[in-house]
Amino acid sequence: MSVNVIFGSDAGATRAVASRIAKRLQGRAVDIKSATTTDFEACSLLILGAPTYGFGDLQTDWETNIDKLTSANLAGKKVALFGTGDQTNYPDSFVDAMGLLYDHVVERGADVVGFTETAGYDYTASKAERDGRFVGLALDEDGQSSKTEKRITEWISRLT
């Protein structure tokens, strides 16, 4: 299985998570700034990761390079998502960016995998929550970093 993990990161937390996931799946971690349309299309599993900024915004590099995602052919492509956020300081927009990416890939016909339960989180609203579950792996590296490794391991086991 070929895996590409495409991410955006400012402070480095999302980059670190993307690298961990890519290493565990023997895949490639690719910064959205240098990603190409081929990086989105030429893999059997595409994983997208983004931190949420401000009050529910996509990270700047994702916003600037969203055309790379929107021009990719994702029809039938197996896609998984992860997001980093801060549920204590931003409880009304926790991992919203993951929900925004979800909407983009679903519009392009992707087969999204890796939904996770919301239990164990303390937030009030999230664009990444659909039908009572997160659309991917939600991580809080600020307040729950001790749970990250276990969450990654459980999530990956459901992707392969």
Question: Is 132 annotated as contributing to ligand binding?
Answer: no
Question: Is 9 annotated as contributing to ligand binding?
Answer: yes
DSSP 67-98: HHHHTS--TT-EEEEEEE--TTT-TTSTTHHH
Question: Is 92 annotated as contributing to ligand binding?
Answer: no
Question: Is 31 annotated as contributing to ligand binding?
Answer: no
Question: Is 86 annotated as contributing to ligand binding?
Answer: yes
Q: Which two tokens stand for residue 99?
A: 């929900």
Q: Which two tokens stand for residue 30?
A: 């690719």
Question: Is 153 annotated as contributing to ligand binding?
Answer: no
Dihedral sign from CA coordinates of 59, 16, 157, 93: negative
Question: Is 11 annotated as contributing to ligand binding?
Answer: yes
Q: Which two tokens stand for residue 136?
A: 């991917």
**Angstrom distances, CA of residue 11 to CA of 27, 61, 95, 104, 112:** 22, 12, 15, 24, 27
Question: Is 10 annotated as contributing to ligand binding?
Answer: yes
Label the pairing between strands 3-7 and 45-53: parallel
Question: Is 110 annotated as contributing to ligand binding?
Answer: no
Which residues are part of a known binding site for FMN? 9-11, 13-14, 52-53, 56, 86, 93, 95, 142
Give binding residues as ranges: 9-11, 13-14, 52-53, 56, 86, 93, 95, 142
